[in-house]
């Protein structure tokens, strides 16, 4: 549904995708029953391209907003919760390393903290063995996708005036080729240094598709799709996330190349009633706090939840606590801070997928 420059059903789906990522990381079972949950990040990238192009494409092309102003808007949208997530991820760990007296690990932890607060993937592997940290690029691991989100935002703003549909199609083709080659080179995508570069084709394809869908929609006069039909397609996509890992390469690439763009396209044409729209709107607002805060919250809650002997009850408690804390962070921290930062120049911050 399009309501006041918002696609409300897409907001609800963004919230559902954030919950899928949370479930994937919260479930302690090995192998994980959601082996392809990472596709939710590609869905976020498509949504981001779609929402940002809907809100800013004509303004950027027409010169009504500068590249610098656009990037300031994006930083205001993303950074408050990124900083909060970085603080939750690095603060307790650095405190522990200080008490442990491990100078090498403390130095590496400090570099991790700097990277997490600055969006910059720093070469922590050169400083100390990965005894505490593994091979992760950012200590708060969801930041890897936000790093690529910010990169594609910079490229989009800088090139928007010259970004014709033909050039978008070329970017989509290059990204799709990279996606199809990834199963031959990477076992998993994005988290470690060995696979960090694989995020490039993912964001290039998905974000570019989102922008192209908006430009195609300007001349589209098709009827609205029933929200139940679109919801059923989205649930079918979620069902594919539990497919056996043996089919992961085919399913993952297929969902990214075909299913995610198709669902965004169809959902942008669906209408919701007032009650459903209110729920979807809240889910969309909550999606980014859940996504960026869930990793450090899982670490902080883990020792306490481990005292619950029933694993299913423990999982439910974790999810409820994380959603609750994320809601509080949204209402008392993120939205007030963004409103205050936006006020001096009258900027309007449109919600977009992270």
List pLDDT tens digits, range 329-341.
999 999 999 999 9
Q: How far does Cα 157 stand from its chain's mean position?
A: 19
> How sure is the predictor about 184, in pLDDT bands with cuts at 50, 70 and 90?
low
What value does the mean pLDDT take over residues 343-347? Answer: 62
Query: At 225, phi and psi to the nearest 5?
Result: -95, 145
Given this model, what pLDDT does residue 8 score?
Answer: 87
Domain count, the chain: 1
Residue 207, both tokens: 């974000």
Residues 12, 15, 175: CA angle, nearest 5 degrees: 100
State yes or no: pLDDT of 217 exceeds 90: no
Contacts of residues 331-334 at CB distance under 8 Å and 24 or more positions apart, as own/partner, are 333/80, 333/81, 333/84, 334/80, 334/81, 334/84, 334/288, 334/289
Work out the percent of the chain whose per-residue pLDDT is above 70: 73
State yes or no: pLDDT of 30 exceeds 70: no
91 in a domain, yes or no? yes
Q: How far, in Å, CA of 70 to CA of 81, rounded?
A: 19
Helix axes 67-100, 143-159, angle to 10 degrees: 160
Q: Which residue has the tokens 């240094």?
A: 193
Burial (Cβ within 10 Å: 0-12, 13-18, ≥19) of residue 174: middle
32 in a domain, yes or no? yes
Given this model, what pLDDT does residue 2 score?
Answer: 44
The per-residue DSSP string of 149-171 comes to HHHHHHHHHHHGGG--HHHHHHH
Non-local (6+) Cβ contacts of 50 within 8 A are: 7, 10, 210, 211, 213, 214, 264, 268
What value does the mean pLDDT take over residues 62-75? Answer: 93
Given this model, what pLDDT does residue 303 score?
Answer: 81
Averaged pLDDT score across all residues of the chain = 81
Residue 321, both tokens: 């606590």
What value does the mean pLDDT take over residues 74-82? Answer: 95
> How sure is the predictor about 239, in pLDDT bands with cuts at 50, 70 and 90?
low
345 in a domain, yes or no? no
Which domain covers residue 284, as residue numbers?
A: 8-337
State yes or no: pLDDT of 204 exceeds 90: yes
Q: Rank 127-136, 183-192, 235-244 by mean pLDDT and report only the highest.
A: 235-244
pTM for this one?
0.86
> How sure is the predictor about 323, in pLDDT bands with cuts at 50, 70 and 90?
very high
349 in a domain, yes or no? no
Given this model, what pLDDT does residue 243 score?
Answer: 56
């Amino acid at each position: 549904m399009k309501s006041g420059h918002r696609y409300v059903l897409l907001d609800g789906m963004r919230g559902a995708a954030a919950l899928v990522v949370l479930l994937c990381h919260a479930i302690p079972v090995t192998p994980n029953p959601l082996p392809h949950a990472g596709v939710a990040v590609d869905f976020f990238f498509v949504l981001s391209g779609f929402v940002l192009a809907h809100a800013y494409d004509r303004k950027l092309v027409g010169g009504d907003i500068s590249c610098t102003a656009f990037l300031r808007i994006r930083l205001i949208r993303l950074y408050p919760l990124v900083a909060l997530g970085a603080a939750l991820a690095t603060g307790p760990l650095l405190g522990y390393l200080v008490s442990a007296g491990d100078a090498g690990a403390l130095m590496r932890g400090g570099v991790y903290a700097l990277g997490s607060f600055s969006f910059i993937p720093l070469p922590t592997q050169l400083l100390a063995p990965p005894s505490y940290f593994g091979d992760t690029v950012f200590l708060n691991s969801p930041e890897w996708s936000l790093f690529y989100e910010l990169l594609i935002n910079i490229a989009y703003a800088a090139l928007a005036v010259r970004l014709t549909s033909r050039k978008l199609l070329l970017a989509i083709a290059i990204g799709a080729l990279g996606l199809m080659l990834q199963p031959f080179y990477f076992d998993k995508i994005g988290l470690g240094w060995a696979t960090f570069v694989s995020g490039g084709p993912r964001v290039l394809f998905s974000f570019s598709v989102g922008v192209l869908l908006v430009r195609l929609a300007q001349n589209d006069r098709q009827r609205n799709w029933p929200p139940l039909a679109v919801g059923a397609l989205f649930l079918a996509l979620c069902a594919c996330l539990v497919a056996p890992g043996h089919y992961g390469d085919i399913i993952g690439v297929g969902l990214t190349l075909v299913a995610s763009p198709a669902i965004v396209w169809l959902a942008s044409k669906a209408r919701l009633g007032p009650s459903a729209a209110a729920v979807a709107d809240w889910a969309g607002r909550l999606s980014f706090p859940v996504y960026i805060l869930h990793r450090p919250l899982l670490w902080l809650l883990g020792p306490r939840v481990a005292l619950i002997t029933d694993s299913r009850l423990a999982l439910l408690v974790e999810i409820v606590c994380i959603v609750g804390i994320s809601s509080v962070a949204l209402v008392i921290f993120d939205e007030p801070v963004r409103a205050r930062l936006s006020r001096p120049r009258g900027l309007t911050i449109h919600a977009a997928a992270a």
